[in-house]
């Protein structure tokens, strides 16, 4: 039996340009469930997902109420439950009734000494003009930065160190359960200095990096980043752009990819393949079954021929 970990990109529940309504999220969860159902038959499967738009919406709702804004760890937990519920229900509608499915709220530890805390880079929440942003920063202790012609709040994005719910995830897999976990990169937590007291953190963990760590820790054979791109491209957007079909981790290291989109996916896939000898795949959601067969998407694996890239 093959053990597969799949990271659903943000488009799994919200396509570009769509309004963040329950109906739209439900419809997209149904599409994701139908695309993944063939892979779930006969395999151990763990699904993770993004939550950026959903956290942003909840943060905006908090503004309507006086008092302290809800911390990001709490918003992350809320969205893990809500999104997991939708995916779980839609998978249950297309898989055999006897296949158990479970969603786990998943805490992920980060290092308080991670350099990311000294240079926040992850944009979250609404847009402001400069004066509004500076006023919000002064009032709430935020860090704000320009995002194009607007200003937005930025928070750290530290590396994931440990996934606390690993044992429950493994137990569920051993019982044939399809598991939904580590949504949005997991609920960010850390230990207070010098203590064993766990606390939430105002940061956002990259979903693909957290998923790669999860895949490594549970001994996955295949790690999949399902996104809205059909493959990883060299020179994307240029006349000579080329889609990578297959490559070794070392070959991928020779190229750089956008930090805000494909970069973390390539890094996570590359690190998983290098550490485990397993296959890492980056592909469109609809192409997941074909990509596992090697017919679509980009596969990163140690056994690619002579360390060279193969292009479509």
Bridge partners, 188 (sequence order): 108
Q: How far, in Å, CA of 258 to CA of 308, rounded?
A: 22
C-beta of residue 270 within 8 angstroms of C-beta of residue 302: no
Catalytic pick from 51, 207, 278, 297?
Answer: 207
Active site residue 265: yes
- The string over 280-310, giving b where at least 16 C-beta atoms fall within 10 Å of a residue's C-beta and e elsewhere, is bbbbbbbbbeebbeeebbbbbbeebeeeebe
The gap from C-alpha 201 to its chain's centroid, in whole angstroms, comes to 18
Active site residue 207: yes
Active site residue 11: yes
Catalytic pick from 9, 10, 50, 56?
Answer: 10
Tokens of 184: 């949005």
Catalytic pick from 28, 50, 84, 122?
Answer: 122
Catalytic pick from 9, 11, 186, 278?
Answer: 11
For the annotated catalytic residues, the residue numbers are: 10-11, 122, 207, 265
């Amino acid at each position: 039996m093959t053990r597969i970990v799949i990271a659903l990109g943000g488009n799994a529940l919200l396509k570009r340009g769509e309004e963040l309504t329950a109906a739209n999220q439900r419809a997209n969860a149904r599409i994701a469930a139908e695309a993944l159902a063939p892979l779930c038959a006969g395999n151990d499967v763990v699904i993770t997902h993004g939550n950026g738009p959903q956290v942003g919406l909840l943060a905006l709702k908090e503004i309507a109420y006086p008092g302290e804004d809800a911390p990001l760890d709490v918003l992350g937990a809320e969205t893990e439950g809500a999104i997991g519920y939708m995916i779980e229900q839609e998978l249950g509608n297309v898989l055999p009734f006897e296949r158990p499915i479970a969603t786990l709220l998943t805490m992920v530890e980060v290092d308080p000494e991670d350099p990311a805390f000294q240079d926040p880079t992850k944009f979250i929440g609404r847009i402001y003009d400069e004066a509004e942003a500076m006023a919000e920063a002064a009032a709430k202790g935020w860090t704000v930065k320009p995002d194009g012609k607007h200003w937005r709040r930025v928070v750290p994005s530290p590396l994931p160190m440990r996934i606390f719910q690993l044992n429950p995830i493994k137990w569920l897999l051993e019982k044939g359960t399809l598991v939904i976990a580590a949504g949005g990169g997991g609920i960010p937590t850390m230990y207070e200095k010098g203590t064993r007291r766990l606390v939430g953190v105002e940061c956002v963990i990259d979903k693909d990096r957290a998923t790669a760590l999860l895949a490594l820790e549970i001994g996955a054979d295949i790690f999949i980043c399902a996104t809205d791109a059909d493959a990883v491209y060299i020179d994307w957007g240029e006349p000579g752009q080329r889609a990578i079909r297959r490559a070794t981790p070392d070959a991928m290291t020779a190229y750089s990819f956008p930090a805000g989109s494909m970069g973390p996916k390539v890094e996570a896939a590359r690190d998983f393949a290098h550490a485990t000898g397993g296959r890492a795949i980056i592909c469109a959601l609809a192409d997941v079954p074909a990509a596992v067969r090697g017919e679509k998407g980009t596969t990163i694996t140690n056994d690619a021929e002579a360390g060279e890239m193969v292009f479509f």
